[in-house]
Amino acid sequence: MPQVLVPTVCPYCGAGCQFFISVEKERATGIEYMPEHPASEGALCSKGNASLEVLYHQDRLRYPLKKTGDGWARISWHEAQELIVRGLGGALKKFGPERVGFLSSSKCTNEENYLIEKLARCLGSKNIDNCARLCHAPSVVGLNRTLGAAGMTNPIPDLANSKCVFIIGSNLAENHAILSRWINRAKDEGAVVIVADPRMTHTAWMADIFLQLKPGTDVALLNGLAHVIIKEGLIDKDYIAKLTRGYDELVEAVKDYSPEKVSEITGVPADDIIRAARAYAISPTSAILYSMGITQHCTGTDNVQAIANLALISGNLGKPGSGVMPLRGQNNVQGACDMGALAEFYPGYKKADDPETARFFSAGWGRGSLPVGRGLTATEMIDAAGKGDIKAMYIVGEDPMNSDPSSNHTHDALEKLDFLVVQDIFMTATAQMADVVLPAAVWAEKEGTYTSTERRVQWSRKAVSPPGEARSDLEIVCDVANHLGLDFDYPDAAAVLAEINRLVPQYGGITRERLDGMGLIWPCPDKDHPGTPILHSLGFKLQDGRASIMPVQYRAAAENASWDYPFILTTGRVAVHHNAGSMTRRSPSLIEREPELFVEINTNDAARLKIADGDEVLVTSLRGETSARARLTDKVKKGVVFMPFHFSGTNKLTTEVTDPEARIPEFKVSACKISWRD
Ligand SMILES: Nc1nc2c(c(=O)[nH]1)N[C@H]1C(S)=C(S)[C@@H](COP(=O)(O)OP(=O)(O)OC[C@H]3O[C@@H](n4cnc5c(=O)[nH]c(N)nc54)[C@H](O)[C@@H]3O)O[C@H]1N2
Ligand SMILES: Nc1nc2c(c(=O)[nH]1)N[C@H]1C(S)=C(S)[C@@H](COP(=O)(O)OP(=O)(O)OC[C@H]3O[C@@H](n4cnc5c(=O)[nH]c(N)nc54)[C@H](O)[C@@H]3O)O[C@H]1N2
Ligand code: SF4
Ligand SMILES: [Mo]
């Protein structure tokens, strides 16, 4: 049989790179590059290149499983559905839908997320969320409030047009690797690059100005930049007058943030703050890129608003080379949010607490009444489970045991549930806690759309068949819905997309017929619309078309170093692993490069503790302890240590404190101590 090339979207990060899977005799045999792709231009990072390694892994879930006294038993799909009717359906009847929770997956397609959202709401539950809660929830809150939309404002290739790229709290060189190419291109054309990060990362190596701030002090830094821009008259007066409100309040709010004072809080030299402010505001076009270093704080929403303020006072929105860019993490976290897998929204960001929203969808879905009001977020569901308030959960493609903060707390909560069903491609730590585990097909084994960080909606084709009896999430969810008394009659993803086209205005014109090729960028309201690469070019979708400048004040992180816990632990990522690691730890070429959990410690701190490079140490916080291999480095400053969360252990340490509005945990600041492993 001849070789066939099947176009597909990378299953790892939100950059949305496409490539071809070559298929021979119904087996995926290799990758071919796609130079015509607008964002990746045929390039892939190490994870994209290794993505096929998970397809035929021996650990893939092949059959539905149920927990037995001494392990797991293979069961039929029929029995699995019966157990779900008894467990999930039983909890719905006995305790009511408000005590049942759903986690949807930002690894799944838009069509699958839409159906999981529809399933939860039609069963009467408001409790649906996805891993955006642990990721960009503050962007959803903060940018909707300031700019009226939470997406990345400009497309990836537009970065090349920027004359100043300000990267704050993002290690894109490792985590959105393909973006570095565009920033290097901007640099070649003379752009200034500013990086603000507590660690000297691969991204920081690209910087002309590097601001190595203390973790959790971003509001102070950003207000300091606004202070200098205002004081030196570098604002865009016309833009402020025509398109914003709230400027005077900002002037008042930042007047005490002199470079000297900000330097004391952040540890960044005052001169560098002034240089960065001038570079950002004087440049004709400046873009701000940010990610988890901004959002994963108890001040995450404030941080995001402080970023929007900078862009607004300097008029850096709505034109090429400018913008506010929340770099979305998972391959489809943008889409999972667009499809309403969030406690606050129905599909298309229609507010869940607005009765009109429920009326709109009950008409659209032909359902009598739908729940009105904000549900529990992912983090709140786990807390509620721990208190016995949530009784049953359906978790699709998410691994809270490893990705939520304070794993011991998560473990206790999940253990308390009367019934847990987990749908994944591997037996994760979360699946281990389940009563029933359902085997899902992974991206290359199914079709549908994914929305990348630049809001590009792309169709991914099925290349190969799933292993054993594994089925696509779309098929599984329809089956669950029908067993629970709903009527989900969708033959394929295209049928679901047609319904999305009708009910989600931003996706109105993103039809299956238009999606062969490089996709379309939403909002795309009708079939003739070309898509909208740059947001806000005609003003803002807020009152009078104006954006809101929202002043914020610096508040310290919830935890600080103390006598007992003298280090600040910050957590994050490395290039060759992905999130909780279920896929990349099983990729031979990737695990070989980073085989185990490590902790980066400043060389001076290590010398004081008599710790040598490669020693196994114990890292302890108020919540738990884990061992890790010491890695001595000057990338982190004295008093700060860094651990990736790709191996279980890291999240035993992290704090459960969340941002009061967005409910994102403060993954980036926990106090800890380091000691010898006995
Ligand atoms: N290789 C790889 N790529 C990925 C992922 C992965 O796991 N591995 N995951 C994907 C996902 S889901 C996401 S959300 C993105 C995340 O992508 P990033 O946001 O780039 O990931 P992180 O490494 O968590 O954090 C980014 C940076 O924030 C810095 N930081 C920590 N604390 C602070 C602070 O207080 N202030 C500031 N300014 N910076 C701080 C860290 O030192 C780090 O360099 O990556 C996506 N891409
Ligand atoms: N300490 C610390 N913790 C963090 C972070 C941090 O920076 N520091 N970052 C947070 C962030 S930004 C995020 S996004 C979260 C991520 O948290 P999670 O979403 O829990 O992390 P993943 O490991 O990506 O989990 C995705 C799961 O989906 C499965 N999967 C893959 N494809 C499919 C599919 O097609 N169908 C189904 N059903 N399953 C599939 C994978 O096997 C995996 O188990 O972690 C958060 N946790
Ligand atoms: S940058 Fe992201 S989308 Fe592109 S190949 Fe790497 S992981 Fe995949
Ligand atoms: Mo994320």
The dihedral formed by the CA atoms of 208, 209, 212 and 215, expressed in degrees to the nearest 10: -100
Is the separation of the CB atoms in 484 and 88 below 8 Å?
yes
Distance between Cα 292 and ligand 4 center (Å): 7
- Shared-domain flag, residues 298 and 368: no
Mean pLDDT of 274-286: 98
Tokens of 202: 């691969």
For residue 465, give the DSSP letter. Answer: P
Ligand 3 contacts CB of residue 177 (under 6 A): yes
- Shared-domain flag, residues 351 and 313: no
CA 645, CA 572: separation in Å to the nearest integer?
A: 6
Q: What is the band of 630 on the pLDDT scale with cuts at 50, 70, 90? A: very high
Last residue of a domain, one of 461, 494, 521: 521
From the CA of 11, give the closest atom in ligand 3.
8
Q: What is the CATH number of the domain that holds 583?
A: 2.40.40.20
CA 594, CA 659: separation in Å to the nearest integer?
A: 32
Q: Which of 174, 139, 179, 189 is nearest to 156 (CA)?
A: 179
Distance between Cα 468 and ligand 1 center (Å): 36
- Shared-domain flag, residues 146 and 293: yes
Give the pocket of ligand 2 (CB within 6 Å). Answer: 105, 107-108, 131, 134-135, 292, 296, 329-330, 396-400, 403, 423-426, 428, 440, 442-443, 473, 571-572, 579-580, 582-583, 645, 650-651, 654, 667
pLDDT at 1: 63
Mean pLDDT of 309-319: 98
pLDDT at 272: 98
Tokens of 217: 């002090």
User: Other C-beta atoms within 10 Å of 589: how many?
Assistant: 13
Choose which residue among 21, 34, 47 to substitute to test ligand 3 binding: the one with the highest number of ligand atoms within 8 A of its C-beta.
Answer: 47
Between the alpha carbon of residue 281 and those of residues 94, 225, 312, 403, the distances in Å are 59, 9, 11, 37
- Shared-domain flag, residues 157 and 128: no
Check whether 678 has a pLDDT greater than 90: no
Distance between Cα 168 and ligand 1 center (Å): 10
Whether residue 528 lies inside any domain: the answer is no
Last residue of a domain, one of 326, 354, 381: 326
Q: Which of 372, 204, 319, 170 is nearest to 272 (CA)?
A: 204
Check whether 677 has a pLDDT greater than 80: no
Q: What is the CATH number of the domain that holds 482?
A: 3.40.50.740
Mean pLDDT of 126-134: 96
- Shared-domain flag, residues 142 and 118: no
Strand ranges in 329-471 using DSSP code E only, listed in sequence order: 345-346, 350-351, 392-396, 419-424, 436-439, 448-451, 456-460
Is the separation of the CB atoms in 387 and 119 below 8 Å?
no
From the CA of 204, give the closest atom in ligand 1.
44
User: Other C-beta atoms within 10 Å of 471: how many?
Assistant: 21
Choose which residue among 9, 13, 106 to substitute to test ligand 3 binding: the one with the highest number of ligand atoms within 8 A of its C-beta.
Answer: 13
- Shared-domain flag, residues 29 and 131: no
Q: What is the CATH number of the domain that holds 321?
A: 3.40.228.10
Whether residue 614 lies inside any domain: the answer is yes
- Shared-domain flag, residues 245 and 341: no
pLDDT at 676: 86
CA 543, CA 540: separation in Å to the nearest integer?
A: 8
Q: What is the band of 345 on the pLDDT scale with cuts at 50, 70, 90? A: very high
453 alpha-carbon distance from chain centroid = 10
CA 377, CA 395: separation in Å to the nearest integer?
A: 13
Distance between Cα 580 and ligand 2 center (Å): 6
The sign of the torsion formed by the CA atoms of 587, 588, 590, 591 equals positive
- Of all ligands present, the nearest one to the C-alpha of 580 is 2
- Shared-domain flag, residues 335 and 481: yes
Choose which residue among 10, 12, 13 to substitute to test ligand 1 binding: the one with the highest number of ligand atoms within 8 A of its C-beta.
Answer: 13
Nearest CA owner, ligand 2 atom 28: 397
Q: What is the pLDDT of residues 236-261, one digit of tens each?
A: 999 999 999 999 999 999 999 999 99
- Shared-domain flag, residues 234 and 222: yes
Whether residue 550 lies inside any domain: the answer is no
- Shared-domain flag, residues 242 and 314: yes
Whether residue 438 lies inside any domain: the answer is yes
Nearby residues of 182 by Cβ (< 8 Å), 6 or more positions away: 156, 157, 159, 160
Check whether 25 has a pLDDT greater than 70: yes
In this structure, the strands spanning 350-351 and 392-396 are unpaired
| SS3 call for 32 | strand
The sign of the torsion formed by the CA atoms of 612, 641, 377, 325 equals negative
From the CA of 179, give the closest atom in ligand 3.
1
Is the separation of the CB atoms in 156 and 273 below 8 Å?
no
Is the separation of the CB atoms in 453 and 334 below 8 Å?
yes
Percent of the chain with pLDDT over 70: 100
Mean pLDDT of 578-594: 97
Q: Which of 177, 182, 190, 175 is nearest to 158 (CA)?
A: 182
CA 313, CA 310: separation in Å to the nearest integer?
A: 5
Check whether 488 has a pLDDT greater than 80: yes
Nearest CA owner, ligand 3 atom 8: 48
Is the separation of the CB atoms in 406 and 654 below 8 Å?
yes
Whether residue 536 lies inside any domain: the answer is no
From the CA of 9, give the closest atom in ligand 3.
3
- Of all ligands present, the nearest one to the C-alpha of 581 is 2
Whether residue 545 lies inside any domain: the answer is no
Ligand 1 contacts CB of residue 644 (under 6 A): no
Angle at 147 between CA 296 and CA 353, to 5 degrees: 75
Ligand 1 contacts CB of residue 452 (under 6 A): no
Distance between Cα 552 and ligand 4 center (Å): 24
User: Other C-beta atoms within 10 Å of 90: how many?
Assistant: 16
Whether residue 471 lies inside any domain: the answer is yes
Ligand 1 contacts CB of residue 672 (under 6 A): no
Q: What is the pLDDT of residues 386-439, one digit of tens each?
A: 999 999 999 999 999 999 999 999 999 999 999 999 999 999 999 999 999 999
Check whether 6 has a pLDDT greater than 80: yes
- pTM of the complete model: 0.98
Choose which residue among 17, 18, 333 to substitute to test ligand 3 binding: the one with the highest number of ligand atoms within 8 A of its C-beta.
Answer: 17
Percent of the chain with pLDDT over 90: 98
From the CA of 177, give the closest atom in ligand 3.
1
- Shared-domain flag, residues 150 and 203: yes
Is the separation of the CB atoms in 334 and 14 below 8 Å?
yes
- Shared-domain flag, residues 322 and 237: yes
Mean pLDDT of 109-120: 98
- Of all ligands present, the nearest one to the C-alpha of 170 is 1
Nearest CA owner, ligand 2 atom 30: 397
What is the 3-state secondary structure of 250-296? HHHHCCCCCHHHHHHHHCCCHHHHHHHHHHHHHCCCEEEEECHHHHC
Q: What is the pLDDT of residues 197-240, one digit of tens each?
A: 999 999 999 999 999 999 999 999 999 999 999 999 999 999 99
From the CA of 106, give the closest atom in ligand 1.
12
Q: What is the CATH number of the domain that holds 9?
A: 2.20.25.90
pLDDT at 444: 98
Q: Quote the number of domains for the chain.
A: 4
Q: What is the pLDDT of residues 497-511, one digit of tens each?
A: 999 999 999 999 999
From the CA of 402, give the closest atom in ligand 2.
20
Nearby residues of 18 by Cβ (< 8 Å), 6 or more positions away: 7, 8, 9, 10, 34, 37, 40, 458, 518
Q: What is the pLDDT of residues 607-618, one digit of tens each?
A: 999 999 999 999
CA 572, CA 593: separation in Å to the nearest integer?
A: 17
For 327, counting Cβ atoms within 10 Å of its Cβ (0-12 exposed, 13-18 middle, 19+ buried), the class is buried
Angle at 46 between CA 40 and CA 52, to 5 degrees: 95
Q: Which of 575, 576, 598 is nearest to 587 (CA)?
A: 576
CA 603, CA 285: separation in Å to the nearest integer?
A: 39
Is the separation of the CB atoms in 372 and 150 below 8 Å?
no
Last residue of a domain, one of 29, 54, 79: 54
Distance between Cα 331 and ligand 4 center (Å): 9
Ligand 1 contacts CB of residue 305 (under 6 A): no
Q: What is the pLDDT of residues 154-165, one digit of tens each?
A: 999 999 999 999
Ligand 1 contacts CB of residue 439 (under 6 A): no
Ligand 3 contacts CB of residue 47 (under 6 A): yes
- Of all ligands present, the nearest one to the C-alpha of 169 is 1
Domain enclosing residue 642, as ranges: 567-676
Q: How many residues does the chain have?
A: 678
Nearest CA owner, ligand 1 atom 6: 578
From the CA of 171, give the closest atom in ligand 1.
20
- The H-or-E segment that residue 196 falls in is strand 192-196
Nearest CA owner, ligand 1 atom 38: 169
Whether residue 46 lies inside any domain: the answer is yes
